[in-house]
């Protein structure tokens, strides 16, 4: 089942990318998608039923809007730190615990963290994220865990779990 889902996603992506409805192109697309599916099918998401629940797509859209907004805020913040003559930076590597369970949700959370306010995920060990932060604004672990993870966690839980 998950092989079929991955094949469909790959094929749709190929068709959008080439944007060409001729027969040779479709044949190439099917071949390439098959090869990709055979190689990477093993590491694809296990529970493919989630792909067919429309409610999740609604939350993806909500998540995207919030994410883009946070991303723009983060960039203005980093641009300010880079441009100001004093360079107000206070870098640190901090530890944050997540409540998400599945691997794909953790992957998305890590990617979202990398894109937002001055933070990059250095490593994930079980449910602990190690995050390099350009400006450590809070001292207590609970506070900065909430700042870094809290915004995205609740949406990702609705999307992936």
Which residues contribute to the site for another protein (CB under 8 A)?
Answer: 13, 16-17, 19-20, 71-72, 74-75, 78-79, 81-83, 87, 89-95, 110-111, 114-115, 118, 120-123, 125, 130, 132, 134, 136
Q: Which is nearer to another protein, 1 or 86 (CB)?
A: 86
By beta-carbon proximity to another protein, the closer residue of 13 and 27 is 13
Burial of 41 (0-12, 13-18, 19+ CB in 10 A): middle
Give dist(CA 124, CA 111) in Å, integer.
12
Q: Which residues contact 92 (CB under 8 A, 6 or more apart)?
A: 132, 133, 136
Closest separation between CB of residue 106 and another protein, Å? 12
How near is the Cβ of 3 to another protein at its closest, in Å?
21
Q: Whole-number minimum distance, CB 29 to another protein, in Å?
A: 14
Instruction: Say whether 133 sits in a helix, a strand or coil.
Output: strand
Q: Which is nearer to another protein, 1 or 83 (CB)?
A: 83
Q: Least separation, in Å, of the C-beta of 70 and another protein? A: 11
Which stretch of DSSP H or E encloses residue 11?
helix 2-18
Q: Which is nearer to another protein, 13 or 28 (CB)?
A: 13
Asked if residue 134 lies in contact with residue 78, where contact means CB atoms within 8 angstroms, the answer is yes
Least spacing, CB of residue 111 vs another protein, in Å = 4
φ/ψ bin of 116: left (φ > 0), alpha (ψ from -120 to 50), beta (otherwise): beta
Select 77 or 161, whichever has its Cβ closest to another protein: 77
């Amino acid at each position: 089942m998950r092989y079929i889902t991955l094949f469909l996603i790959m094929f749709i992506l190929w068709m959008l990318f080439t944007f060409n409805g001729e027969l040779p192109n479709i044949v190439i697309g099917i071949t390439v998608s098959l090869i990709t599916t055979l190689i990477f099918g093993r590491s694809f998401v296990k529970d493919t039923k989630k792909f067919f629940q429309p409610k999740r797509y609604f939350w993806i859209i909500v998540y995207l809007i919030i994410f883009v907004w946070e991303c723009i805020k983060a960039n203005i913040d980093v641009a300010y730190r880079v441009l100001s003559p004093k360079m107000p930076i206070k870098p640190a590597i901090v530890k944050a615990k997540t409540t998400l369970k599945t691997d794909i949700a953790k992957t998305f959370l890590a990617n979202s963290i990398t894109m937002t306010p001055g933070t990059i995920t250095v490593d994930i060990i079980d449910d602990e994220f190690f995050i390099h932060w350009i400006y450590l604004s809070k001292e207590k672990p609970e506070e900065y865990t909430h700042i870094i993870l809290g915004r995205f966690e609740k949406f990702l839980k609705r999307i992936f779990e």
